[in-house]
Amino acid sequence: MEVRPSPEQEAARLDAVLQKMERVRQARRHKFYLRDDHITLSHGSGGKATHNLIEGVFAPAFSNPLLDRMDDAAVFALDGSGLQVAFTTDTYVVSPLFFAGGDIGKLAVHGTINDLAMAGAQPLYLSASFILEEGFPIAELRRIVASMQQAAQEAGVAIVTGDTKVVQRGKGDGVFINTAGVGLRRAHWPLGQTALQPGDVVLLSGSVGDHGIAIMLAREALDIETDVQSDTAPLHTLVAALLEAVGEGVHCLKDPTRGGVATALNEMALASEVAIGLDEQAIPVHPGVRGACEILGLDPLTIANEGKLLAVVAPEVAQQALAAMRAHPLGREAAIIGSVQADPAGIVFLRTEIGGMRVLDMLVGDPLPRIC
C-alpha cells in the first residue's frame, strides 16, 4: 500500500528544497566572471561562457540605458514623432550552410525578424552583409541569396542595404552573414526580461530542440534515423496574434535560440530577480529530438531553437494567451510549462517527471557549435 506524504510533510520537503536553491542562488549572485585569456568556441554558445564574455568585456565598455536591458532588440522613441522603433543585429556562422528545414540565408532573415518580434515590434527593413571566403562557389552563394529573398518576401520585410567583404582562402568558413533589422513597436508598455512578476505564467509555443539536433545530425553525419528538421520560422505574426488577444497581459517575449529554453529562462529570472518553476511533463519535445538527445547525452532544454518563443503573461490571461497561440499555425503545440514566483530569486527549477526537483542552469560548455 502506497503511503503518501501529508500536506505538512510535502510543504516541509518543498521548503527544504527551496532553502537549498537559495544557497545556490547566493553562490551564483556574482557568477559572471571572465577568467579566460583567449576566446574559445564556448564563448559563442549562448550559455555561461557567452555571458561571462558580455559582462566582462562588452557590457562595461558600451554601457547605456538601452544596452543595459540586454533584451533581444533595443527600443527607443524617434524624437517628436511619438513612434517607438526596435533595432537589432545578429551574425550567422552556421555549419553546415544547408540543413534539413533550412539554410544560413533563411536563418539570417528569420532570426533577425524574431529578435524584433520579441520586442513587440512589426519588422520592416533588414540589412545583409556577407563575409565570403576566397574560393566559395558562386552557385551556393546564389542559392543562399535566393533563400534570403524568398524568406524576406514571405515575411513581408525588405532587405534594403548591405555590404560584401572577401577574405583569403582558409581565413573564413565559406560565408558568414551579418544582419540588422528595424521595426515599429506594437507594444507600448514595459515588455522585456525585467518585467516578470510573481504569479506570471510561462508559455512555450511548441516543441524544443529541433533546430540544434537537425544541425548536429547534418554536420556530423550521424547514423541516427529521424525526420527532425530545423524549426526556423518568422514569429512576428504569432506575436501579433498574441498581443492582439491579451495586450498588456504579455510581460516578456523571448526566443530560446543559443543555449535553449534553459538559458533564456535563466536570463529572465536573473534580470527580474524572480524564480521560475517548470513542469517537465508539460514541455513538448518531439520523439526524434528526445531520442537523439538520449543517444548523444544532451538535454533538449539547452538545445537551440529558431522558430519557438517563450511568453510570460499575467495569470488572468494565461488561458486566453494559450488559445491565441494554438490558433496560429506556428503555435499549434503551445503549452503552459511553468510559473513565476518570488523566491529563490535568480533560480530556474524543474519539477521532473519522476516527482523530483532540480535546478535548471544555463548551458555550460558548447555541445553544439555553429548552430546559428
> Which of 131, 160, 150 lies closest to 232 in space, CA to CA?
150
Q: Does 353 or 304 have the greater pLDDT score?
A: 304
pLDDT in tens, 226-258: 789 999 999 999 999 999 999 999 999 999 999
pLDDT in the model for residue 347: 94
pLDDT in the model for residue 254: 97
pLDDT in tens, 57-97: 999 999 999 999 889 999 999 887 778 999 999 999 999 99
Q: Contact, 357 vs 286, CB < 8 A?
A: no
pLDDT mean across residues, the chain = 90
C-alpha 14/C-alpha 355 separation (Å) is: 12
pLDDT in the model for residue 365: 72
pLDDT in the model for residue 362: 87
For residue 280, pLDDT over 90 is answered with: yes
pLDDT above 90 as % of the chain: 70
> Buried (b) or exposed (e) across 257-270, using 16+ Cβ within 10 A?
bbbbbbbbbbbbbb
Q: Does 33 or 229 have the greater pLDDT score?
A: 229
State how far the alpha carbon of 320 is from the alpha carbons of 197, 198, 257, 283, 323, in Å.
18, 19, 26, 19, 5
pLDDT above 70 as % of the chain: 89
pLDDT in the model for residue 364: 77
SS3 of 142, please? helix
pLDDT in the model for residue 35: 83
For residue 158, pLDDT over 70 is answered with: yes
pLDDT in the model for residue 6: 65
Tell me the range of 193-202, 215-224, 354-363 where mean pLDDT is highest.
193-202
Question: Which three cell numbers, joined as nine digits, stand for 22?
Answer: 537559495
pLDDT in tens, 293-321: 998 889 999 999 999 999 999 999 999 99
> Which of 221, 191, 298, 308 lies closest to 261 in space, CA to CA?
308
